[in-house]
Amino acid sequence: MTDIAATAAPSTQTPTLPARLAKGFVNRLVIIIPYLWLLFFFLIPFIIVFKISLSQTAISMPPYTPVLDFSDGISGFLAGFRELNFDNYTWLTQDALYFNAYVTSLIIAGISTMLTLIVGYPIAYGMARAPATIRPTLLMLVILPFWTSFLIRVYAWIGILKPEGLLNQLLMSLHIISQPLVILNTYTAIFIGIVYSYLPFMVLPLYSSLEKMDYSLVEAAEDLGCPPIGAFWKITFPLSLPGVVAGCLLVFIPAVGEFVIPDLLGGSQTLMIGKTLWNEFFSNRDWPVSSAVAVILLLVLTIPIMFFQQAQAKAQEQGR
Amino acid sequence: MNSTWSRFNITSIVLGFAFLYLPIVLLIVFSFNESKLVTVWGGFSTKWYVSLFHNQGLMDATWVTARVGVISATVATVLGTLAAITLTRYTRFRGRVLFSGMVFAPLVMPEVITGLSLLLLFVAVGLDRGFFTVTLAHITFTMCFVAVVVQSRLVSFDRSLEEAAMDLGAPPVKTFFQITLPVILPAIISGWMLAFTLSLDDLVIASFSSGPGATTLPMKIYSQVRLGVTPEINAACTILIAVVAIGVIIASIANKRREIQRQLDEQAAQRG
């Protein structure tokens, strides 16, 4: 806040000491309040999750044995270390269910991210090439569904995809199919749900990088005899890469841990880790195991999340 | 540019928007269905809306959700704005990397992890789960979205205005309230609305952090959806969509008006 002001101000007037102290205090408060809030409500909870993932299941409330109790002082704390219990993690590696759930979640998230990119790219491209006057309206129309409830948008698909639902009614009345398609409660339904729900997250970063692009480059390539498709892969796509990366991460990371979509559209047969965690917690009431599931999920997602941070930081630098 | 607005582009936009809007439109249409079967049209009726208002459980949940939304969005807006100022204005302080990490990570963090970790925190510190804990949880995850929205406005903000005010002797706090705040106000308002809708919308984090007596509307809808699709839920969803849509439209009109006013002011200033 001060770079220029600090060099310019002393020549005209020197701030009084109380004023400077007050300013320093305000500056610090601006940082400290959100900092402490996030530390307490975002970072410390993760440490607790990690801690509880190392404890044993107990039939009590809360249903786990205490681990690393600080009430005994530092020696008690160190003694507690020796009693740490990795059973929940061994359990996770031994039971194929969890391993399958992680792998399936990653694969489903990966495929859905690709599908979202394929669906979203033409939309973003079309928006970016639209006449400048209607672009804000198009942008608004992409954002608007995001304001309506996620749960409602997923719910809307149940009525469309069920065996006696609207899609099957339409296809059968057009005589395209004679038997209703089974889509609901399959992985296909999960793909549709994820593509639909996360589409705005893909379109917006793509649009913002495509809109900034200089199209005279493409025109020049085409003038020099490059076919349109070649020009697209050689110029447009590489230049939109920051948007592609940001969009894919914004879809992929939350999709891995998605709960609502696999639960409502995927039925009981489909296996995804967010659903496993939920069931472990709410149905089996096994807090330590669900914490261990969360810790591993977080570890799996650490690398993509760090990529996301970097992309954000870079975008912020460029925005300056 | 217009020559490149080709048939392909128009088709992809039309298909894309059809994909985005058709499910919502169908949902709204079938909320006015006479028949109890959601997918078979049996004539126009508003009876599901009437029965909705006699459903005490749903009405209670709506009231809880509205209160959680307003309180958490308001606190999250204050915290998120402070976080945005910190991110854009203080480029060097100890723990800045950690801080920006804590602001950006919740944006993509799977909700099950955030929900579980917050619940375990509440249990660890001995807070009774209920209205208060849901509100705290919603403040935490929505403030990060507010921070991003406000930050994008602050980055493009003309700092010379602030510097001029301070050179003329305005203390920093006064400068903030008289110069900075009015300029970033549109972003703060849209940040509040985003926080409010996210809170209105959230199922997973609320399910983890809520307790008896604090059932939010998404939790209620979810438990009924699991039992099957009913026109009554369609009606409840339609009302929610309508409330949000009206809010967004009012905000965008107000925004446009302010923008026009600002342009007029600037023109007047240039003439004067």
Q: Number of C-alpha atoms within 13 angstroms, CB side, residue B185? A: 13
Residue B17 inside a domain? The answer is no
Domain around B230: 54-271
- CATH classification at residue B225: 1.10.3720.10
Q: Which of A23, A36, A48, A211 to mutate to test the interface with B (most CBs of B within 10 A)?
A: A48
Q: Which of A289, A227, A249, A228 is nearest to A97 (CA)?
A: A289
Q: CA dist B91 to A2, A296, B87, Å?
A: 12, 33, 7
Instruction: Please give the model's pTM, rounded to 2 decimal places.
Output: 0.82
A27 interaction partners in chain B (CB closer than 8 Å) = 90, 172
d(CA A146, CA B222) in angstroms, rounded, equals: 19
B178 to chain A nearest CA, in Å?
A: 16
Q: Say which residue, B4 or B20, is predicted with more confidence.
A: B20
List of residues 6+ apart from A252 with CB closer than 8 A: A109, A110, A113, A304
Cβ–Cβ of B109/A30 closer than 8 Å? Answer: no
Angle, helix A135-147 to helix B7-31, in steps of 10 degrees: 30
Q: If you search the block for the tokens 């609320």, which residue do you land on?
A: B206
pLDDT, tens digit (0-9, with 9 covering 90-100), for A218-270: 888 888 888 888 888 888 899 898 899 989 999 999 999 899 899 989 888 78
Q: Given this model, what pLDDT does residue B2 score?
A: 43
Q: Say which residue, B51 or A107, is predicted with more confidence.
A: A107
Q: What angle do CA B265, B270, B272 make, to 5 degrees?
A: 90
What ipTM does the predicted assembly reach?
A: 0.82
**Where does the pLDDT of residue B201 fall: very low under 50, low under 70, confident under 90, or very high at 90 and above?**
confident
Residue B27 inside a domain? The answer is no
Cβ–Cβ of B109/A254 closer than 8 Å? Answer: yes
What's the mean pLDDT in B206-229?
86
Q: What are the structure tokens assigned to A263, written together?
A: 């639960």
**Where does the pLDDT of residue A64 fall: very low under 50, low under 70, confident under 90, or very high at 90 and above?**
low
Q: What are the structure tokens assigned to A204, written together?
A: 């917006």
A316 to chain B nearest CA, in Å?
A: 8
Q: Given this model, what pLDDT does residue A92 score?
A: 73
What's the mean pLDDT in A53-69?
61
What's the mean pLDDT in B14-24?
90
Q: Given this model, what pLDDT does residue B248 score?
A: 76
Percent of chain A with pLDDT over 90: 20
A40 interaction partners in chain B (CB closer than 8 Å) = 121
Question: Is 80 exceeded by the pLDDT of residue A72?
Answer: no
d(CA B10, CA A126) in angstroms, rounded, equals: 7
Identify the weakest region by mean pLDDT among A65-69, A211-215, B167-171.
A65-69
pLDDT, tens digit (0-9, with 9 covering 90-100), for B140-174: 999 999 998 898 888 877 788 888 888 888 887 88
List of residues 6+ apart from B20 with CB closer than 8 A: A141, A142, A145, A196, A199, A200
Q: Which residues pair with B33 in a beta bridge?
A: B44
Q: Say which residue, A313 or A287, is predicted with more confidence.
A: A287
Percent of chain B with pLDDT over 90: 24
d(CA A11, CA A26) in angstroms, rounded, equals: 24
Q: What angle do CA B52, B63, A158 make, to 5 degrees?
A: 50
Cβ–Cβ of A130/B13 closer than 8 Å? Answer: yes
Residue B167 inside a domain? The answer is yes
Cβ–Cβ of B248/A48 closer than 8 Å? Answer: no
**From the list B108, B163, B245, which residue is nearest A250 (CB)?**
B108
Q: Given this model, what pLDDT does residue B117 score?
A: 93
Q: Given this model, what pLDDT does residue A12 score?
A: 43
Question: Is 80 exceeded by the pLDDT of residue B37?
Answer: no
Mean pLDDT, chain B, integer: 85
**Where does the pLDDT of residue A78 fall: very low under 50, low under 70, confident under 90, or very high at 90 and above?**
low
Residue B20 inside a domain? The answer is no
| Other Cβ atoms closer than 10 A to A268 | 9
User: Which residues in chain A (36-95) have CB-CB distances under 8 A to chain B?
Assistant: 37-46, 48-49, 52, 62
Cβ–Cβ of B110/A147 closer than 8 Å? Answer: no
Q: Given this model, what pLDDT does residue A7 score?
A: 41
Q: Are A124 and A207 in contact (CB under 8 A)?
A: yes
Q: Are A104 and A297 in contact (CB under 8 A)?
A: no
CATH of domain A88-319: 1.10.3720.10
Q: Given this model, what pLDDT does residue A226 score?
A: 85
Cβ–Cβ of A34/B95 closer than 8 Å? Answer: no
Q: Provide the number of structural domains found in chain B.
A: 1
**From the list B20, B80, B233, which residue is nearest A145 (CB)?**
B20
Q: Given this model, what pLDDT does residue A107 score?
A: 94
A112 to chain B nearest CA, in Å?
A: 16
